[in-house]
């Protein structure tokens, strides 16, 4: 047959094999003078074109599966399209501010009234779009899991989800391993500094630090004690403690998919007719109380070791961001509450003139009291789940501020700042900062990314990732292979299409489970797919060349036999 499977991929793969890359075997008409060979019939040619057409379409479909469907599945399965969702949030905030400004006017012109009406409709439309992006993932995941369990694949569901859970736990363990290595190095640095100071300073010299006067020997003794306390506190981030927290979290999230199903498909009419229930991220709202409790527990243990005002500011800003994502920006009272909350937080975290903790706590308590009326206001139409999330978050802000204080590492640095030269202190602080960054990153991975991943897995995300993101291109490839009418074509389909697709998708999904951002995860998948395609194309080239040489040798042998006869 004249057509080769390489034609199918010429427009899709840069290194696809072209028909004329290797010399084809001589035709029968060219080599036999008697012209007795039978030419391919019209039916055969039509069939060959039909097969190539099907192969081409299958390849295109599979390519679309990688370039379009797979990223959508990965992004939606995480419950949100980060960039689009953030854009919509910003637009909604601006529109809501403009709506409040127009409503505050004593009188409006007809043009302003028309403008207000237009803004309100736009606000409603954008809220609907945001809700669609937020909830497409959970709605898809829980339904797909229900269907699989209905047809008796419960054990398969458990194994797939369990596998992805183990990978997420593994990535958390890797983050803590890096943190532990940095922690050991920090301890060694502190121990060495203590040793050097003991041999170089006058032990009886009195030094005043933060209003407390002690001899150098006493301060070094205090430093040694704090270092021992840090080591004990770090037990909370060693494998046994991390494993214990994982088991607790898994238990808390068991059945989350059933709850999501009951709140959506189980009560579909109420879900669709209640904007506040479907324009907020339903699985995140349901998981919020558990996530707050889990994160607070880890944060408490971490802050014993290290905590400064920058850490506190980041923690507070994260909670405020969560509240903002749930606030009804069309409700004036809610908008005012959010503004007051941000102003209060900025007063506490300000580096120039921070307000006293007592003053900040009074303001936070007033905000919490005001929120009770706002969350119950019929105009705002907050769902019970969203109200509970906001209340928990406000309470968490009060707790973070009330318990804010320096960690043991910061207390140690205060001591050494008064005992070391500026150069030696700067070097010590630099090495300590690496340890602080490592443990903060590990804690963030466990308390935020890991919790979100467990939340999604318990709602069925792994099943839809595998079922839709992997089986679709696999099915397309299987169709292409089954329609190929020679083993050479089947082989080429597998090498040029099947293997690169599967490698790319597998890498991408592993990156997602490893809690990489969606962009880097997909980029990694595309890179591995491209590299694999290059390798497979070269392998296919060699195999085709060998086939061509083998066919040529066979034809020459047949010619020699015919000539002798």
Q: Which residue has the higher pLDDT, 73 or 321?
A: 321
List, for residues 83-131, the tens digit of each pLDDT value.
Answer: 555 666 667 667 767 776 776 677 777 777 777 777 777 776 776 666 6
* Region of poorest pLDDT, from 59-63, 250-254, 414-418: 59-63
pLDDT score at 292: 92
Contacts 24+ apart (CB under 8 A), 481-488: 483/51, 483/54, 483/55, 483/58, 484/5, 484/51, 484/55, 485/47, 485/48, 485/51, 486/1, 488/4, 488/5, 488/543, 488/544, 488/547
Please, which residues bridge with residue 214 across strands? 207
Provide mean pLDDT across the span 220-239.
92
**Which DSSP category does 459 fall into?**
T
Give the residue from 157, 72, 139, 79 showing the smallest Cα distance to 469.
Answer: 72
- pLDDT band per the 50, 70, 90 thresholds, residue 472: low
Provide mean pLDDT across the span 62-83.
43
Q: Averaging pLDDT over each range in 26-30, 34-38, 347-351, 512-516, which range is the top one? A: 347-351
- pLDDT band per the 50, 70, 90 thresholds, residue 450: very high
List, for residues 122-168, the tens digit of each pLDDT value.
Answer: 776 776 666 666 677 788 888 889 888 999 988 988 998 898 888 88
- pLDDT band per the 50, 70, 90 thresholds, residue 336: confident
pLDDT score at 13: 31
Q: What are phi and psi of 75, to 5 degrees?
A: -70, -45
Q: Averaging pLDDT over each range in 200-214, 354-368, 477-491, which range is the top one? A: 354-368
Q: Percentage of residues in the chain with pLDDT exceeding 90?
A: 30
Q: What's the CA gap between 381 and 133, in Å, rounded? A: 21
CA contacts within 13 A on the Cβ side of 133 = 16
Q: Where are the domains of the chain?
A: 6-77+470-514+524-564, 83-152
Q: What's the CA gap between 176 and 126, in Å, rounded? A: 40
CA dihedral for 401, 407, 410, 414, sign (positive or negative): positive
List, for residues 255-279, the tens digit of each pLDDT value.
Answer: 999 999 998 888 888 777 776 666 6
Provide mean pLDDT across the span 469-481.
64
């Amino acid at each position: 047959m004249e057509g080769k499977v390489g034609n199918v991929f010429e427009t899709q793969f840069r290194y696809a094999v072209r028909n004329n890359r290797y010399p084809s075997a001589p035709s029968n008409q060219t080599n036999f003078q008697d012209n007795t060979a039978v030419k391919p019939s019209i039916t055969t040619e039509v069939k060959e074109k039909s097969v190539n057409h099907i192969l081409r379409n299958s390849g295109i479909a599979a390519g679309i599966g990688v370039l379009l469907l797979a990223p959508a599945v990965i992004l939606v399965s995480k419950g949100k399209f980060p960039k689009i969702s953030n854009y919509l949030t910003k637009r909604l905030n601006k529109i809501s501010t403009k709506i409040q400004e127009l409503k505050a006017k004593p009188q409006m012109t007809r043009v302003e009234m028309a403008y207000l009406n237009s803004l309100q409709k736009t606000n409603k439309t954008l809220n609907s779009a945001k809700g669609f992006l937020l909830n497409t993932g959970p709605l898809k995941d829980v339904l797909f899991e229900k269907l699989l369990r209905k047809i008796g694949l419960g054990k398969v569901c458990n194994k797939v989800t369990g596998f992805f859970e183990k990978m997420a736990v593994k990535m958390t363990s890797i983050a803590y391993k890096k943190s532990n290595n940095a922690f050991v190095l920090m301890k060694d640095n502190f121990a060495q500094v203590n040793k050097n100071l003991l041999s170089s300073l006058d032990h009886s010299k009195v030094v005043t630090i933060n209003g407390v006067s002690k001899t150098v020997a006493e301060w070094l003794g205090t430093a040694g004690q704090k270092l021992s306390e840090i080591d004990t506190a770090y037990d909370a981030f060693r494998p046994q403690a991390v494993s214990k927290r994982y088991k607790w979290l898994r238990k808390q999230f068991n059945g989350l998919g059933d709850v999501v199903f009951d709140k959506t498909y189980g009560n579909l009419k109420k879900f669709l007719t209640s904007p506040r229930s479907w324009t907020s991220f339903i699985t995140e709202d349901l998981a919020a109380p558990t996530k707050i409790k889990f994160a607070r527990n880890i944060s408490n243990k971490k802050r014993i070791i290290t905590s400064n005002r920058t850490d506190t500011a980041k923690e507070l800003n994260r909670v405020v961001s969560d509240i903002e994502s749930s606030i009804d920006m069309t409700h004036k009272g809610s908008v005012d509450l959010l503004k007051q909350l941000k102003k209060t937080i900025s007063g506490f975290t300000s580096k120039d003139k921070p307000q006293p903790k007592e003053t900040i706590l009074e303001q936070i308590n007033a905000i919490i009291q005001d929120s009770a009326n706002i969350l119950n206001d019929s105009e705002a139409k907050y769902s019970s789940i969203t109200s509970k999330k906001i209340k928990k978050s406000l309470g968490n802000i009060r707790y973070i501020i009330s318990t804010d204080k320096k960690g043991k590492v910061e207390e140690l640095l205060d001591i050494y700042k008064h005992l070391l030269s500026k150069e030696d202190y700067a070097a010590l602080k630099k090495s300590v900062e690496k340890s602080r960054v490592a443990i903060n990153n590990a804690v963030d991975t466990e308390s935020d990314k890991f919790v979100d991943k467990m939340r999604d897995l318990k709602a069925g995300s792994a099943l839809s990732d595998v079922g839709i993101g992997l089986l679709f291109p696999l099915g397309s490839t299987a169709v292409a292979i089954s329609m190929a009418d020679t083993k050479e074509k089947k082989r080429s389909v597998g090498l040029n299409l099947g293997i690169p697709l599967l490698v790319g998708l597998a890498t991408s999904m592993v990156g997602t489970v490893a809690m990489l951002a969606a962009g880097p995860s997909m980029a990694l998948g595309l890179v591995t797919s491209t590299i694999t395609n290059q390798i497979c194309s070269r392998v296919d080239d060699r195999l085709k060349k060998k086939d061509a040489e083998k066919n040529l040798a066979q034809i020459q042998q047949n010619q020699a036999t015919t000539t002798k006869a």
